[in-house]
Amino acid sequence: MLYALCFLFFAVGLYGVLVKRNLIKIIISLTIMESAVNVFIVMVCYRKDAIAPILDKTIESQEFLAHAADPLPQALVLTAIVIGLGVTAMTVAIAMRLYERYGTYDIQEIKRLKG
Amino acid sequence: MANKGMTPIVKVISDWVKSFIMLFGIYIVLFGHLTPGGGFAGGVIIAMVYVLITLAHGKEEALRRMRMGVAAELDSVGALMFLIIALLGVSAGFGGRFFANYIHRLNPGKEFSLFSAGTIPLYNIAIALKVATSLFLVFILLVLLKVIHGPEGEA
Amino acid sequence: MLEFIGLLLLFMIVASIVAIETRDLLAAVISLTAVGFGVIIAFFYMRAPDVAVVPIVVEVLVLVILIRSTLRVGLKTFIGNRDLFGMIVTVAMLAVVFLAGIRVFSFFPTFGEPVITRIPDAPSRIYLENGLKDTGAANIVTAVLLDYRGYDTLGEATVLFTAVMGAIAVIRKKARKKPSEPEVPEWGE
């Protein structure tokens, strides 16, 4: 049920990419889709009554193993977030260049004016 | 973005605060193997110091503190450092595999201390250098780009 | 009665609908930041502090970059949706995919029981047991990211490098109509 809510969150972003005409709205929808995927991957590694997977001098080894959250998807999401930032910066640079060339952010106008 | 920056109150406070933010960013990078954080979070925090200088004083001040050519060189240095430390693990005297943690096998330090995890703090420093200079370059180029109204005839 | 994660997801869905549908570009960007903060609270609730520290600073940078893109344009430009037939077809296809997705997600394990609890020799369990001994790092997520799965970090550094090179290559275009007004300073300054 919670996974289905996360998928609905992703579908809202996908609707924004497919339906909107403003380039900045399309970039915002791409960021929403990427956040939805990150939340989904971290939801897979949640454990009931969990401890964060960071050792300390005061934690016993058995209790740590019995309660720690899964560290592997967390490591993969960490890199995905920084990559999302790089892709957002690149698409905003391309959008600003398009505005300078065609005078509008509207993709149907740009398709009409191309050439 | 305005050339002159913001009001004098913002300029004075940001001059005091930016050293602490830079120190905090370096702390998160260096202690990445003991506390949450690591190279990525610390690198973005160090880039945010230059964003703060740009917003408070204007882009000439930020370019005076770190020039674009220097940032590009540091970016490549970070990537090269990461690769060289990883490749040193391949040589047979050290461990025999790409990315082997050879410093930890040769002399393991005391656990939970700063010098304990072998090559991991060195990787953190390389990643932080790379991420910080890349994001600073993208931000300063987006600031310098002058968007002119209206369509152009040809590029 | 929904759990806390369900309420957070509902908040994020409402904020994202506001971000997409509103006419004001500044309000859309601020709603996007609200979605980002909901994501951060969700990460903290699911006991992943190492992951949660990164979007806090990334959100601020995305906010600054997106506002920069709307500065000279004007924040109130309103461009509508695509044509009505395309919009109805899109919504219908998304509804079909969503209903199929609900059926698929009913086969997933329940929320709160990851792989480690069910399979005795999953890789994550081996990383948790031997992490301190093999690498000497107390932070198991950093140990996974930089020692057990170092290749993925190398790939991430490459992708970030390429994305930033792409952004720089697009901005640095030198062919301008007015040679008297240089657009970016020369590279050596």
Question: What was the pLDDT predicted at B95?
Answer: 60
B151: confidence class by pLDDT, cuts 50, 70, 90: very low
Q: Where are the domains of chain C?
A: 1-78
A106, A21 Cβ separation under 8 angstroms: yes
Q: C20 vs A15: CB contact, 8 Å cut-off?
A: yes
Per the DSSP assignment, residues forming a β-bridge with C139 are A54
Question: What was the pLDDT predicted at C93?
Answer: 92
CA distances from B125 to A64, B24, C74, C163 (A): 29, 14, 41, 21
CA dist B103 and B112 (Å) reads 16
A45: confidence class by pLDDT, cuts 50, 70, 90: confident
Residue C135 has pLDDT above 80, yes or no: no
Question: What was the pLDDT predicted at C77?
Answer: 64
Biggest CA-to-CA distance, chain A: 68
CA distances from C43 to A40, C38, C67, C159 (A): 10, 9, 26, 24
Q: Is A58 on the interface with C (CB under 8 A)?
A: no
CA distances from C183 to A89, A100, C158, C172, C175 (A): 19, 12, 28, 8, 10
Query: What burial letters (b/e) apply to B90-105, b meaning 16+ CB within 10 Å?
Result: eeeeebeeebbbbbbe
Q: Is A82 on the interface with B (CB under 8 A)?
A: yes
Residue A31 has pLDDT above 80, yes or no: yes
Q: DSSP assignment of A10-71, as one string?
A: HHHHHHHHHHB-BHHHHHHHHHHHHHHHHHHHHHHT--TT-B-SB--TTS-HHHHHHHBPPS
Token readout for A26 is 């399309």
Question: What was the pLDDT predicted at C8?
Answer: 92
A47, C114 Cβ separation under 8 angstroms: yes
Q: B35 vs C139: CB contact, 8 Å cut-off?
A: yes
User: DSSP 3-state assignment of C12?
Assistant: helix
CA distances from A77 to A84, B154, C101 (A): 10, 42, 22
Question: What was the pLDDT predicted at A106?
Answer: 84
Q: Is B131 on the interface with A (CB under 8 A)?
A: yes
For domain A2-113, give the CATH number: 1.10.287.3510
Q: What is the pLDDT of residues C145-172, one digit of tens each?
A: 888 888 889 999 999 999 988 888 888 7
Give mean pLDDT, residues B111-132.
83
Residue B154 has pLDDT above 50, yes or no: no
Q: Is C62 on the interface with B (CB under 8 A)?
A: no
Contacts with B104 from chain C: Cβ below 8 Å = 134-136
Question: What was the pLDDT predicted at C115?
Answer: 75
Report the percentage of chain C scoring pLDDT > 90.
32
Question: What was the pLDDT predicted at C183?
Answer: 53
Strand (E) or helix (H) holding B18: helix B8-30
Residue with tokens 């609900």: C102
Q: A99 vs B134: CB contact, 8 Å cut-off?
A: no
Q: DSSP label at B150?
A: S
Contacts with A90 from chain C: Cβ below 8 Å = 163-164, 166-167, 170
Question: What was the pLDDT predicted at C175?
Answer: 45
CA distances from B62 to B55, B122, C186 (A): 9, 27, 16
Q: What is the pLDDT of residues B23-49, one digit of tens each?
A: 999 999 998 888 888 899 999 999 999
Q: In chain A, which residue's Cα lies nearest the Cα of C142?
A: A75
